[in-house]
Amino acid sequence: MDFELSQEQRMIYEYGNSLVKQFDRKYWLACAEQKRFPQEMYDKVAADGFVGMMVPEAYGGAGQGMTEMHLFLEGLSNHGIPLLSLVVGATMSVGFIAKHGTEEQKKRYLPDACKGRTRFCFAITEPGAGTNTIQITSIAKKKGDRYSLSGQKVFISDADGSDYALVVTRTKPHNEVTKKTDGFTLFVLDLKKKGIQKTLIPVAINMPETQWQLFFDEVDLGPEDVVGEVDKGFGILFQSLNPERILVAAICCGLGRYALDRAVEYTKERRLFNNVPIGAYQGLQHPLAAAKTEIEMASLMALKAAYVFDQGREAGEFSNMAKVAAADAGIRAVDAAVQCFGGNGFTKEYGIFDIYPLVRLLKTAPLNREMILNYIGEHVMGLPRSY
């Protein structure tokens, strides 16, 4: 693996330097406080070709890989701008269709999505299943040559602003299959169809992307909506979850780096005892240095995971390690930064503490730390299954 970025990759990583001249963190925060999707920023990012980063050029995309998407999102997050909508929309949904969709689906959905004319969300979580996807109960029942979808999904990011959802559902109940991973099918669902209801889930974190419950009542779907094979969706489903973990790691690393940069700037200027900058005090300097080390190590693991994914190899080991390491490192980085600011760290004026709830969320979502450690223990280290 070559740790040197190409000139094009460096430009992707540094794209945030130019974006923040027009849409900075203050813009993102205003959208977050208003629970308003950052449409103007999204349109700019789409126009510059980054929404379609992982879509082949033939369908309107940039034809890049996971490495470039990782660099892009980490670079934006370095400026305190975490565009989570690009994780569930541009990567998990649009990128998934680009890889597994039919030719007709690619031509129908990808060009408009790349241009930002349409948005996608990803619908997998259910209230009775949580992280145990095997136990989901939403089902698309066969009706002639079509399907009727009924069930419920929760914590669906940007569902209200999206035009389509990539829905994970069963086409056979889990108690009617020989192998528990059989009977899963993925569908592209037009969210304007009859039989769909949406309910807002109020969350205590300021972020532009809102969370929703989706209710499906005999929603009509056809074979043209199936992504992949009927009843065989579980295998390709988990190929979409590794990118999610890589990009969440990228965002955590970027936000942690942003908080540390702000703390360094502040502690070099702030003087209290003997007119010495407080950044000279080891009680502040050492936690910042330790947090910086952890952020950079997590960033390297995320870059390795992206590289392995782009090679077409199994990336679960590195993707999970990157996510758990980056979430922990991001939390510690923000905590160390807040401590440097003292009381100022809790004010809106300085804008440091508001980073913490988001990085803390990413320790739990989209997959909690405990389940990731279970995966590493069992599948990487060979320990007995613990659950």
Determine the residue type at 272: L
Tell me the mean pLDDT in the region 225-244: 90
pLDDT tens digits for range 47-97: 999 999 999 999 999 999 999 999 999 999 999 999 998 998 999 999 999
**Over residues 319-328, mean pLDDT:** 98
**Which CATH number is correct for 121-230, 3.40.50.970, 3.30.429.10, 2.40.110.10, 3.30.70.660?**
2.40.110.10
Whether the predicted pLDDT of 2 surpasses 70: no
Task: Check residue 349 and give its pLDDT.
Answer: 93
Which CATH fold topology does 235-380 show? Answer: Butyryl-CoA Dehydrogenase, subunit A; domain 3 (1.20.140)
User: Hey, where are the domains in the chain?
Assistant: 7-118, 121-230, 235-380
**Looking at the predicted structure, is the pLDDT value of residue 3 above 80?**
no
Average pLDDT score over residue span 207-219: 96
Joined together, the tokens standing for residue 174 give: 């889990």
Q: Average pLDDT of 177-201?
A: 95
Query: Exposed, middle or buried by CB within 10 Å (0-12, 13-18, 19+), for 122?
Result: buried
Residue 132 banded pLDDT, cuts 50, 70, 90: confident
107's tokens: 């031509």
Quick one: average pLDDT of 126-137?
Answer: 88
pLDDT of residue 1: 60
Place of tokens 């565009």: 83
CATH 1.10.540.10 for domain 7-118, yes or no, is yes
Q: Cα(367)–Cα(125) distance, rounded to whole angstroms?
A: 10
Q: Among 71, 113, 56, 112, which Cα is nearest to 88's?
A: 113
- Is pLDDT of 116 > 90? yes
Residue 239: is its pLDDT beyond 80? no
pLDDT of 342 over the 80 cut: yes
